[in-house]
Amino acid sequence: MSQPPGPMLKAAKTRRGRGAAQEGQSNEEHPVPGRAEQGIDEVRRRFVGAAAVSALVLAPGVSLFAYAEAGGNRAAGASSKRRWGLLIDTTRCKPSCTACVSACSSYNGWKNEGRPTDAQWIRKVQVSDPKTGFSRSVPVMCQHCGNAPCVEVCPTGASFRRADGIVLVDRHICIGCRFCMMACPYKARSFISENLTDQKPWAPRGKGTVEGCTLCVPRVDAGKIPACVEACSREGGGAMTFGDLKDPGSAIRRALAEHPSVQLRADLMLDTGVHYQGL
Amino acid sequence: MSAIHYREIDGQSAGFWGLAALLAVLMAAGLTAAYFMAHIGHIITGMTNQVVWGVPHVFAVFLIVAASGALNTASIASVFGKVAYKPLARLSGLLAIALLLGGLAILVLDLGRPDRLGIAMTHYNFRSIFAWNIFLYTGFVAVTGWYLWVMMERRLNRYTRMVGTAAFLWRLILTTGTGSIFGFLVARQPYDEAIMAPMFIGMSFSFGLAIFILVLMAVFKGTGRSLGDEILMRLKNLLGVFAAAVLYFLLAFHITKLYEAEFRGAEAFLLWDGGIYTFLFWFGAVFLGGALPMLLFWLPQTRRSRAAVGWGSASVVVGGLALMYDIIIGGQAWPLSIFPGMHVSSSFYDGVVNFYAPSLPECALALGGCALALFITLFALKLLPFLPETLADEEA
């Protein structure tokens, strides 16, 4: 398997202060953007600069992407002043539409070929009430919980929650124990069971580790919206809203304030970052 | 009681080397399987993104649970002062370490990245029961090793009770930790009960003692040493009580689940119409793991039979493996309830009972771990005096 190092890979290494030789197995390593609240902005700033220079020198093909993705929002980083979240209006989600799934798959480079070992970062779940006939089509992905069970159970701390609420897997230290998959109530994580090819430089993946929706963190850090949200507004019913749950003026907060919404498995009190309306 | 004389086993017979060779072959098969799992990936196993823990985990957790139970005999002698069990204490400690190492080997080699064992040993998230278990398991080996040392070194014998008590407490905490791996899984309806921690302690008492009895009978028979009825009957009576305790915990566990409406679907699956999982629960866990051994141990026709002790112990082991399969695989076969009360379907197998069929490599890895445990035991018995020369009944 070959895979260009990519700007995000450099991000993780810079953050940890370790070189490629110490990391080893770098062709299967993964990005770990902004891990802790403390000092993250500073680390990120240093990294973005280093990544940009490195990319310019070492990988001209990738450097364009580095500028495009990382350049737009250099000073932003992961801040606890934000809580990124999604609102999904299921009344606008068409059962036949899989634009969000296709966009996620295309952007992040995972493929569902119908095998039970295939990764699926997002899926459409057809939901119907057998007693009333009420039905909905619901995109389900990592719910980016405030009290994430995957983070709690991970023995090495590879599952972690960024200061801005995005839950990620640090695939440098994921040992592939799959305890997070046992603990996740949403079946949001996938284990990579075989070697992969044709990976995206900004979303490197690795055999033997666990992965899931990153809320398109490279895009978010670059000031963009996740690929699924963009695709939904462009090709779907405009059912998905992305934004800062802590900003009272954001579209997502206003929509949540105006209409009732639910969190999946709200009884578990996981404080999910993903909310649903119309369920 | 007269003085106990311990002696190594000769380990020269064809039977010894034949067994050693068989275990070596099984270990090599396990290592080969682990190599291919690491090199090619878990795609060669039956595990999927639906059933993420498979047969390796069934055997690994079984061995780890049994390991702490294998220490029962030593604990009874050292902590509770029952001198009749004292000659068996060394073997008890040895088996505890060997079984734990066998289970740990399986767990580690099944990791998606077994090459990152160093990371597992240096990066800790102390909110994770898994992280705690890394300490509990390695600490158990250390404490039990220390316990064996004070038992086997005459000058240190006076510390036996103190160290034995530490080992006893450690094993209780260890099995609590193992049961809590499942008990803490609030996301999955077949788990999510605090009683799983004490239930695993009950299971450890039963499985560990059953393996201990089988090894004891096999080694004494193989080496021609005398094993009296008195100690064997004491042990099988104890095993009968432990088997009954497991049934009690299972009853309390499932009654609690059945009482809560949200769990009834999962319970109906596991107890009534879950196919292999229902069969494994009733025939495996309840009949083989509990009812049959109790009948063999206490029916008037068989209660003094040594063969019944052996068959009853083997039945507990097979029933224990069935129960572990039922808990680990059956618990994952039941789909997650993301939308309670709704019918659901998706490309990711939401709402359907998940399929799992173990593959040859994962079975080889699991058996390799069992072989490692027995291999360690076999050669430890040859190298050091773990076994008394005789356990014949004393003349009145």
- Quote the pTM value: 0.89
Span B147-156, average pLDDT:
94
pLDDT at A61: 36
The CATH code of the domain that includes A140 is 3.30.70.20
- Structural domain boundaries enclosing A218: 82-279
Whether A42 and chain B come into contact, CB under 8 Å, resolves to: no
Q: Give A145: exposed, middle or buried? Use CB within 10 Å, 0-12, 13-18, 19+.
A: buried
* Interface predicted TM-score (ipTM) of this complex, two decimals: 0.95
Interface test with B, best of A141, A193, A274, A279 (most B CBs within 10 A): A193
Residue B32, SS3 per DSSP: helix
Tell me whether residues B348 and A123 touch, CB distance under 8 A: yes
Instruction: Give the H/E segment covering residue A88.
Output: strand A84-89
Quickly state the pLDDT bin for A6 (edges 50, 70, 90).
very low
Residue A199 belongs to a domain? yes
Bridge-based pairing state of the strands A122-128 and B343-345: antiparallel
Q: CA A165, A167, A173 angle in degrees (round to 5)? A: 135
Residue among A127, A149, A155 whose CB faces B342 most closely: A127
Residue A5 has pLDDT above 50, yes or no: no
Residue among A114, A174, A183 whose CB faces B187 most closely: A183
Q: Give B32: exposed, middle or buried? Use CB within 10 Å, 0-12, 13-18, 19+.
A: middle
Whether A223 and chain B come into contact, CB under 8 Å, resolves to: no
Interface test with B, best of A179, A192, A194 (most B CBs within 10 A): A179
Secondary structure (H, E, C), B132-198: HHHHHHHHHHHHHHHHHHHHHCHHHHHHHHHHHHHHHHHHHHHHHHHHHHHHCCCCCCCCCCCCHHH
Q: How far is A196 from chain B (nearest CA, A)?
A: 10
Q: How far is A144 from chain B (nearest CA, A)?
A: 15
Residue among A126, A130, A157 whose CB faces B125 most closely: A157
Residue B330, both tokens: 């059956």
Q: In the A/B pair of chains, how many CB contacts fall below 8 A?
A: 172
Residue B324, both tokens: 């572990």
Residue A58 belongs to a domain? no
Residue A123 belongs to a domain? yes
Bridge-based pairing state of the strands A167-169 and A159-161: antiparallel
Span B361-372, average pLDDT:
98
CATH placement of domain B10-336+345-391: 1.20.1630.10
Residue A232 belongs to a domain? yes
Q: At what angle do helices B14-39 and B89-110 cross, to 10 degrees?
A: 30
Residue pLDDT, tens place only, A112-169: 999 999 999 999 999 999 999 999 999 999 999 999 999 999 999 999 999 999 999 9
Quickly state the pLDDT bin for B105 (edges 50, 70, 90).
very high
Q: What percent of chain B has pLDDT over 70?
A: 99
Whether B184 and chain A come into contact, CB under 8 Å, resolves to: yes
Whether B140 and chain A come into contact, CB under 8 Å, resolves to: no
Whether A22 and chain B come into contact, CB under 8 Å, resolves to: no
Neighbours of A217 (CB within 10 A): 23
Among chain A residues, the shortest Cα distance to B114 is held by A175
Determine contact, residues A33/A162, Cβ cutoff 8 Å: yes
Determine contact, residues A264/A143, Cβ cutoff 8 Å: yes
Instruction: Give the H/E segment covering residue A79.
Output: none
- Residues of B with CB below 8 A from A179's CB? 128, 130, 181
Span A78-96, average pLDDT:
96
Residue among B42, B181, B343 whose CB faces A130 most closely: B343
Average of per-residue pLDDT values in chain B: 96
Residue A153, SS3 per DSSP: helix
pLDDT at A198: 85
Residue among A130, A191, A264 whose CB faces B52 most closely: A191
pLDDT at A3: 38
User: Lowest-confidence range among A38-52, A168-182, A265-279?
Assistant: A38-52
Residues whose CB is less than 8 angstroms from the CB of residue B42 and which lie 6 or more positions away in sequence, other chains included: A117, A191, A193, A194, A208, B112
Average of per-residue pLDDT values in chain A: 81
Cα torsion A238, A240, A243, A247 to 10°: value is: 90
Residue A37 belongs to a domain? no
Q: How far is B101 from chain A (nearest CA, A)?
A: 18
Whether B57 and chain A come into contact, CB under 8 Å, resolves to: no
Tell me whether residues B52 and A208 touch, CB distance under 8 A: no
Among chain B residues, the shortest Cα distance to A174 is held by B113
- Of residues B185 and A67, more confidence is placed in B185
Whether A278 and chain B come into contact, CB under 8 Å, resolves to: no
Residue A12 has pLDDT above 90, yes or no: no
Residue pLDDT, tens place only, A268-279: 999 999 999 999
Query: A88 — alpha (psi -120 to 50), left (phi > 0) or beta?
Result: beta
Residue A220 belongs to a domain? yes
Whether A154 and chain B come into contact, CB under 8 Å, resolves to: yes
